[in-house]
Amino acid sequence: MEASPAEPLDRSTPSGRDLFLEFDHRRGHLRRSLRLAIRGAIQAGRLGTGTPLPSSRRLAADLQVSRGVVTDTYDQLAAEGYLALRPRRAPIVAHVATVAADSAEPAPAAWRFDFIGTTPDVELFPRRAWLRALDRALRVAPNEAFDYGDKRGRIELRRALAEYLARVRGVRVDAGRIIITQGFTQALDLICRVLRARGAENLAFETPSLAAEWQTVVASGLRVEACPVDAYGLRTDNLADISARAIVVTPAHQFPTGAVMAPARRTALVGWAAERDGLIVEDDYDAEFRYDRNAPGALQGLDPGRVVHIGTASKTLAPGVRLGWMSLPAALVEEVRLAKTAVDSGSPALDQLALAELLSSGEYDRHVARARQIYRRRRDRLIETLSSRLPGLPIEGAAAGLHVVLRLSDGVDDRQVVSAAATRDVGVRALSAMSLSDDPMRGLLLGYGRLPADRIPEAVDALAASLPPYPS
Amino acid sequence: MEASPAEPLDRSTPSGRDLFLEFDHRRGHLRRSLRLAIRGAIQAGRLGTGTPLPSSRRLAADLQVSRGVVTDTYDQLAAEGYLALRPRRAPIVAHVATVAADSAEPAPAAWRFDFIGTTPDVELFPRRAWLRALDRALRVAPNEAFDYGDKRGRIELRRALAEYLARVRGVRVDAGRIIITQGFTQALDLICRVLRARGAENLAFETPSLAAEWQTVVASGLRVEACPVDAYGLRTDNLADISARAIVVTPAHQFPTGAVMAPARRTALVGWAAERDGLIVEDDYDAEFRYDRNAPGALQGLDPGRVVHIGTASKTLAPGVRLGWMSLPAALVEEVRLAKTAVDSGSPALDQLALAELLSSGEYDRHVARARQIYRRRRDRLIETLSSRLPGLPIEGAAAGLHVVLRLSDGVDDRQVVSAAATRDVGVRALSAMSLSDDPMRGLLLGYGRLPADRIPEAVDALAASLPPYPS
C-alpha cells in the first residue's frame, strides 16, 4: 500500500526522504545499502540518541521500497544495538557514542645525509630473489604450513639455519633448539619473560648499548644493570660486581663502539656464567659484514648450554622482514616455546619458508657477499674522507658492521653536534645517548649503510661543518 | 721447509695427520676449511680441553700447507676462544662445553576425521592470489617499506582495513587507530600488557571460552575472571559481580557455544563499560562466515571509545599468515603502539602490503565469498547427517563460523566421548574443557572447516560410534 503525498506529516518523526543521502536501489543491494545508510547516519551523529525513526510503513512508502525491506533493516540494526524497537511504535535511535576525528599520520623522517647507524640500505633488499623464494615456497609448501604449527617455527627454516649457523658462525645447535622470532626485539622480549617467570629482577647490558633494547627489558618488568665496555669489549673484571645472572652482549662487534671482544674476555665471560649458573645472551647482529678477516665465531660455540645466540635478517636482508632466530640451551627451549605460544602463537609461515629457500639455494650467501662488497666500498670511502677532512679525530670500530665511531675532541659534547648536524639536514647519533653510566663515552655513530659511496664526501663536509673547531 | 718423515715424533702432541678427517686444500678455501675442521673437532669433543695442538711449524709440515695458514688459523681460533696461545709453545685447547644430542621433532598430529573446531581449511588458502598480491606489493612498495617503520603497521594496510571494517563490520575507526598484530594472540597480549601497566590485576572472559587465550592472559601476569554465557550470549546480569574493568567477548558468534549476543545485552554491556570506565575487547574472529543472514555489526560501532575491536586473517585466509588488527579507542593507541614497539618492533611489512592489495582489489571479498559457499555446504551436510544419525541431540550455534555444538544426553561426560573418539582416529573437542566454572556446559565442538562434504557421513558415523547409547 503506497502512502499518498497528500497524507499529513507526523512532525515527531523525520521523513524517510530527509534521512538518507543515498543508497543503492538495485535488487540484491537494497537491504544492505539501506542498513549501511541508517547506521552511517547514526554513527556520524546525524541521527542522535532518542531520535524516533519513521514507522516501517511510512519509511517504505517514502523510499518506495517494500515494507519487508524496512522491517528487516530495523531488525538487523536493533540486533546490532543501534535501534531500540518498541511494540506498535516507531523505533528510536539507541545510545551510540560519537568518536573523535581522524588522527594525522606522521611523515617518515628522511635526512639529506643519513648516518643513522644500525639500519642497512633498504634499496639493496633483493626483491626479485625474495619473490622467487616466495614463489617456490608457495608451490612446494604442504597445506599444513598455512595452519597453526610448531610454535618454534617452520622445521624447514630451523634446519637450514642450524646448518648455516654452524658453517658461518660456529654455532652448535640442532633444529630442535632453534626458535624463530620477529627479529631481535622479540627474541629479547621472550628471554625477559622467561627470566622474569624464573624470578629474575634484572638483566645486565653492556654500556654503551641501544636504548630501544633497554625499553624492551623495562617493559617486561626487569631492571637494566650496566656493565662497561672498553676497546676490548665487555670489561669482564666488572662482572663480579653485577647482581644479574644474565647479560646481553655483542662480542663479534660491540654495539655501538665496534670493539671486538678479546679472547681472554670471551673465556672469562663464559667462566662467569658457569660459576654463577648464569645466562649469556649473544646478540650477533651484524657478524656477516666483517671486512678485514673472518669474523670471530660466535661465543655460543664455547658453551651452548649457557649462551643464547640470537641472529637476525634485519641487517643481511632488511628490518622490514622481521625475522630473527634464537639458538637456545636445551634447558630453555620449552620455556621459550611456551612464551612464544602465549605472545603470538608463532611467526608467519611463508616468510620462514622463503628464507629457508634463500639459505638452501645459496642465494642468501650470494646476497650477503654482494652487499658486503658494497658496504666495504662505502666504509673505505668514509674512512678515507674522514681521515682527510677531519684528520685529528680517531675512527673506531671499522672492522665490521655498518657503522664506525668517530671520537670527538676533548670537551666537545656529542649531543650538541647531533643538534647542529640536524640543522644541516644530517642525521647522526651520539654515543653518549647510548650510555647507562654517568660518565658516558662521547662520539658520533656514523652509519654508512645508507650512503652511496659517491655521496659520502658531501655528507662528510656537511658533518664537518657541524663540528666546533678542533685542534689540528 | 718440509718436515722429514724420519724426524722423531713429540709424543705429547697429536700429529696433524691424526687430527682432521678432511679439509679443502684448494686456494682460497684452505684457511677457512682448516679452521672449521679444528673447531669442529674441538666442539665434537674429539680434541678435549687442555689437549696441546702441534706447533704451527709441525702442523704446516704434516698438512703440507704454508706455516702462515696455520698461524692464521690458530690466531683466529684463539680469538674465538677455542685455543689458548702460549708464547713459544704449541697452543692448547681451551675449555669448551659439550652439548646434548639432537632433540627429536614431533610429527604434527593428523586425524582421520578432524572435527577440531577453530581452524579453517588450509587447503583453501588462495596461494595464487596471495602470490600475485606479493608480486604486486614487491613491484610497487617504496624502499622504506623494508625498513623499520611505523610500529602500528603499514599505512596501506591500515587504510584498507579502516574501509573494509566500516563496510563489512560497521566498525568506526580511522587508519591512525588501527594497529597490526601477529593474529589475535598478540593483540590480546598487547592489551594485557597495557592493562597491567595501568595497574589492572585481572581480565574477565566469557565462560566457556578458549583455554589458550587464558594462557596468554596468565602469562602476562593478569588473573582470568569468569562471566557465564547462555543461549543469548554473555549474561550481562552477572557483570555487576566481576571485579575486572575489562572483558573479552565474542558477540557476533560466541566461542565456543555459537550464541549471538542479544541486542539488549549488547546495550547492557556497553552501558557497563561506560559506568565503570571499563574496556570491552571484542574478538570478532569469524563474523565473515555468517550463513542465515547478515552478520550483526561489530559491537565496537556502538562505542568506539570503550571497545577494542580485534579481527584476524586466521579464519578468512589461514592461521599461518599470522595477521590480525586492532581498532583502538584513541586514548589507547599510544600505549599499545609502545607495547608493540617493545615486544617486536612491528610486524613484517610484505605480508601487510599483500593483504592491503587483496583488500583493495576486492580479491579478499571474493575469496571469503567462495569459502563461505564451501563452508555452508559442509555445514548443511553436517547438520543434515547429525539430524538423521543422532536425532535426539540438539545442534547449536550453527548460524555462523566454522563449527557447531552438539549437546549430549544428560549424564554423558563429553571428555569421555573425546577419548573414545580418539581411539577411532576422530579429533573432536569437549565443551567442558573450555569452562572456567565448576558446573561446565557439556557438549562436543564439531568443526566442519576441514571436512570435505563427501567425507562428513563417514565422519559422523565414526563419531556416533564413540557415543554411549542415548534415548531415542
Rounded-to-integer distance, Cα B306 and Cα B309, Å: 10
ipTM: 0.84
Residue B144 to residue A297, Cβ atoms within 8 A: no
Torsion over CA: A432, A414, B342, A209 (sign): negative
Question: Tens of pLDDT along A59-74?
Answer: 888 888 888 888 888 8
| A319-325 average pLDDT score | 96
Question: Tens of pLDDT along A165-189?
Answer: 998 999 999 999 999 999 999 999 9
Torsion over CA: B424, B427, B428, B429 (sign): positive
Rounded-to-integer distance, Cα B258 and Cα A59, Å: 34
Taking every pair of C-alpha atoms in chain B, what is the biggest distance, in angstroms?
Answer: 100
Rounded-to-integer distance, Cα B21 and Cα B43, Å: 14
CB contacts, 8 Å: B31 with chain A: 294
Residue B39 to residue A81, Cβ atoms within 8 A: no
Confidence of residue A221 (pLDDT cuts 50, 70, 90): very high
Q: Which of B453, B460, B454 is nearest to B428 (CA)?
A: B460
Rounded-to-integer distance, Cα B206 and Cα B259, Å: 12
Using the structure block, give the residue that is written with the C-alpha cell 599520520. Answer: A105
Question: Tens of pLDDT along B100-141?
Answer: 555 556 555 688 999 986 678 899 999 999 999 999 999 999
- Is residue B417 a contact partner of residue B446, using CB atoms and an 8 Å limit? no
Cis ω for the linkage preceding A208 (within 30 of 0): yes
CB contacts, 8 Å: B215 with chain A: 341-342
Return the minimum-mean-pLDDT range out of A14-18, A156-160, A271-275.
A14-18
Kindly list the distances between the CA atom of residue A302 and the CA atoms of A151, A191, B74, B79, in Å, as whole numbers in the listed order: 27, 20, 16, 12
Average pLDDT score, chain B = 89
Rounded-to-integer distance, Cα A322 and Cα A313, Å: 7
Rounded-to-integer distance, Cα A458 and Cα B447, Å: 64
Nearest-CA distance B344 → chain A (Å): 4
Residue A181's DSSP bridge partners are A324
Amino acid (1-letter code) at residue A324: G
Using the structure block, give the residue that is written with the C-alpha cell 663479534. Answer: A252
Confidence of residue A4 (pLDDT cuts 50, 70, 90): very low
Residue A215 to residue B122, Cβ atoms within 8 A: no
pLDDT surpasses 50 at A192: yes
Residue B349 to residue A320, Cβ atoms within 8 A: yes
Most A-contacting residue of B344, B347, B351 (CB-CB within 10 A), to test interface: B344
Residue A351 to residue B347, Cβ atoms within 8 A: no
Q: Which residues contact A401 (CB under 8 A, 6 or more apart)?
A: A253, A255, A258, A286, A289
| A213-239 average pLDDT score | 96
Q: Using DSSP, state whether B181 is helix, strand or coil.
A: strand
Rounded-to-integer distance, Cα A428 and Cα A423, Å: 11
The residue with greater pLDDT, B294 or A151, is A151
pLDDT surpasses 90 at A21: no
Nearest-CA distance B391 → chain A (Å): 31
End-to-end CA, chain A: 98
- Is residue B23 a contact partner of residue B34, using CB atoms and an 8 Å limit? yes
Nearest-CA distance B419 → chain A (Å): 23
Q: Which residues contact B241 (CB under 8 A, 6 or more apart)?
A: none
Question: Tens of pLDDT along A25-42?
Answer: 666 778 888 888 888 888
Torsion of CA B241, B244, B248, B254, to 10 degrees: -10
Torsion over CA: B440, B441, B443, B447 (sign): negative
Judged by CB atoms within 8 Å, which residues 334-373 of B form the interface with A?
A: 338-339, 341-351
Interface A-B: count of C-beta contacts within 8 A: 304
Query: Of A81, A101, A351, which has the smallest distance from its Cβ to B267's Cβ?
Result: A81
- Is residue A309 a contact partner of residue A425, using CB atoms and an 8 Å limit? no
End-to-end CA, chain B: 98
User: In B64-219, which ranges are continuous DSSP H helix?
Assistant: 67-79, 127-140, 155-169, 183-197, 211-219
Q: Which residue ranges of chain B lie beneath pLDDT 50?
A: 1-12, 21, 471-472
Query: Of A96, A216, A304, which has the smallest distance from its Cβ to B342's Cβ?
Result: A216
Nearest-CA distance B17 → chain A (Å): 23
CB contacts, 8 Å: B94 with chain A: 267, 302
| Cα nearest neighbour of B215 on chain A | A342
Residue B301 to residue A39, Cβ atoms within 8 A: yes
Judged by CB atoms within 8 Å, which residues 227-286 of B form the interface with A?
A: 260, 263, 266-267, 270-271, 274
pTM: 0.85
Return the minimum-mean-pLDDT range out of A16-20, A196-200, A220-224, B281-285.
A16-20
Task: Indicate the burial class of A410 (C-beta count within 10 angstroms; 0-12, 13-18, 19 or more).
Answer: exposed
Kindly list the distances between the CA atom of residue A107 and the CA atoms of A247, A318, B148, B377, in Å, as whole numbers in the listed order: 37, 20, 14, 48
A6 vs B: CB within 8 A: no
- Is residue B374 a contact partner of residue B390, using CB atoms and an 8 Å limit? no
CB contacts, 8 Å: B296 with chain A: 76, 79-80
Cis ω for the linkage preceding A142 (within 30 of 0): no
